[in-house]
Structure 1
């Protein structure tokens, strides 16, 4: 910790300044010195200072004012005041503004070392706590928009494990599953969280513009380039660059992207200056890059450079237990956004959401819930708030699923009457007592189903169940 901690010593007395520098340097700290508050401010703006050790009484910007300026420039740094006997009361008051402690003149080496050590330990604890909170926030935000099913827990476990590294990540999955959410979670839980997260939608940009968008260009590089422009690699410097639908990148840009991944360098279009690409690269695709490689549409060497770590997000239909959580999350978000007093989702409406197969995944669910919130006239979302085709598709999907499960009924050598009773009971159970759906699956009228229920003691307990 000592070799990484930079301490700024500020005092208008050369002897005190030099003594403190000598004491701290011998303890292994890196030390900057300033003769007054004005010089100290300039150094704070240029360097990542961990601790300011400043005299309280100085001409110009004194220690009390420097404390406020330093905290504005870098809220996480600590400030220790040096004070004479006559200014102790002032020092105590200044500590209310955020100073860690004060050292009284004349001081000895042991006191200085002890106070500095404690101040830096406190700063480290604060930073660790802040980092932990940001990591937890990243996880919580991702879970709200992604889900908490076992499948998604495995995804989030991988995100937590991979986020602190600098490894390139390829996020795969169908459209709408939440690939960008995972990319943002990786960024939020990484050491680069305080820097920019820059997204490039590769599929949305024409081939001629994608290269300029990524790498930037110099004035006159092509028709219309009337001034110099930084590319996304430069804008994301120190942060994360997210390439969405990376499979749509054309061969020429693939070559340049490969070079960045191999050497960490690039040039703007029309320029000769080489830039260093200090970015964490995350790519996403809903296509199989491996198949694109086989078809000679995507470079194999680039594929392996991108696929260092692969995170695959399963479709929503394979993790239906996430639907209630996601639906309620979107409900509250859009109810607040639209000023609607909607507090929940009816059981019948939730059953429809769970039964529907969601080809558009989480994005389609979000759009459905936004529409429902806007159109709803009550305090709860009901089936009538959903499009008719969604309600019908949900029923059809349930019918197919029930029919498939019916094949597993162990009929053995049972009499025909018992087989009929078992099939009817299982159909009613799988359709949760919905007799309209059950009769449709069985190929009989609802009246016939009621008659058969009346004549069968085994299914009579389902008389009271739902018909919606």
Structure 2
């Protein structure tokens, strides 16, 4: 760090004023005094020259963890591995979380959520609602496939007194109940054409008529819809209104299937193990390396819901501390249901260990009042801690596959094994 035209302290102050992102400075090994000066400024972290890739990644990780720590402690937001109850840390899920935040800021436009069965479409809809200005009002879910056709109309729109035999008093429909809030229409592709026309009026005119009613009722409801069907194909077959399709899909959201984000499987397993073990008052069980590999290679046609069901199943029927491959139900062991190992390795992207881009750094909410001069930092201890965290992250990403974890960390497998042994890490830790 050479600044012949500007005193170092002045330059550091100027940088501190103009950025909230962490700044990493590379210094020669003998620059102890300069290192102390730099560390007195809140955005700065130091790395000693010459450094290898792993050392730099650890320091970067330390800077980002420090940023995240202050964001969480000050704003009491969720851990970075989940968002509004949705668990995931893969690049595709981080992109989804960012899209949800953007959608929530505009609480008027309709949203069409697409995804296979079991991917968590209602969770995404709830996340949009709870992140929006409508969060204090009702979130009203309606499964269009679960309610018989002859009842769905009155469930959605309500009915007036005397609308039909037995209608002795009027009844509020779910659309009106969602006034000021959010209406979530799951499996919208199953809605019949006559109801599609009535829903279109709600979206266009912001009003509806109850069954048997004569007077339109104004309503301020944001509509979120979801489907696992190909709506474009239904439109081409005349089974779904084209005008309604375009009204619904103002903002399309695609949820990735579990097989496309295998790196999130260990996080989901940990989440479900904790939930169901706590319910039953037992210690969470762990999976052997081989069992974890089977779960990572499994094709998960039922997506997250199927994984949750499996963990619940194991928490009830498995009494031991470790689940081996032989303990898994047969279909999770059959080779025909598992993807090739090469496909697994390819799907566990290195991006899961990547450093966030500059926009992501700016979103971390780094605190202006962070002052490292108020804390004593044992650099050796901090680096050791973050090396441990990085190793655990690699093992979580690869489902405990040490060979692949070593590859992600650019270490020899034997070196990684030595570090795991030295740090006394066990499968329970990842």
TM-score of the aligned structures, taking structure 2 as reference length: 0.60
Pairs within 5 Å for 1:234-253:
234-253=176-195
Task: Encode CA deviations 1:282-329: one digit per residue, 9 max, x unaligned.
Answer: 000001111111111000000000000000011111111011111111
Structure 2 residue ranges without an equivalent (≥5): 1-70, 348-400, 403-430
Q: How does 1:265-344 map to 2 (within 5 A)?
A: 265-344=207-286
2 CA distance for matches of 1:168 and 1:139? 27
1:159 to 82, 97, 100: 100
CA shift for structure 1 position 389: 1.6
**Counterparts of 2:161 and 2:315, CA distance in 1:** 49
2:169 to 208, 220, 227: 227
Asked if residue 260 in structure 1 is aligned to residue 202 in structure 2, the reply is yes
Q: Distance in 2 between matches of 1:194 and 1:378?
A: 44
- Secondary structure at the aligned position of 1:290 is classed as helix
Distance 2:244 2:127 in 1: 24
CA distance in 2 between partners of 1:270 and 1:361 (Å): 42
Which residue pairs with 1:196 in the alignment?
138
1:148 aligned residue (84, 89, 97): 89
Summarize deviations over 1:398-443 as a string: whole Å, max 9, x none: 37959x99xxxxxxxxxxxxxxxxxxxxxxxxxx89xxxxxxxxxx
Say yes or no: does 1:171 pair with 2:113: yes
Deviation at 1:343, TM superposition (A): 4.4
CA distance in 1, matches of 2:86, 2:327: 22
Is the 1:163–1:187 contact (alpha carbons within 8 Å) kept by the matching residues of 2? Answer: yes
| Residue 180 of structure 1, aligned match among 97, 105, 122 | 122
Q: How many residues align?
A: 277
Question: How many Å apart are 1:237 and its aligned residue?
Answer: 1.3
In the alignment, what sits opposite 2:296? Answer: 354
Greater gyration radius = 1
Gaps of 5+ in 1: 1-128, 406-431, 434-468
Question: CA RMSD for the aligned pairs?
Answer: 2.8
| SS of corresponding position for 2:183 | strand
The 2-side partners of 1:394 and 1:269 are apart by 52
Mapped to 2, the partners of 1:270 and 1:395 lie a distance apart of 53
Contact 2:81 2:89 in 1 (8 A): no
Residues 339 and 396 (structure 1), Cα distance of their counterparts in 2 relative to 1, 3 Å cut: same
Query: What is the distance in 1 between the residues matched to 2:219 and 2:194?
Result: 19
Task: Decide whether the 8 Å contact of 1:342 with 1:378 is kept in 2.
Answer: no
Q: RCO greater where, 1 or 2, for CA within 8 Å and sep 6 or more?
A: 2
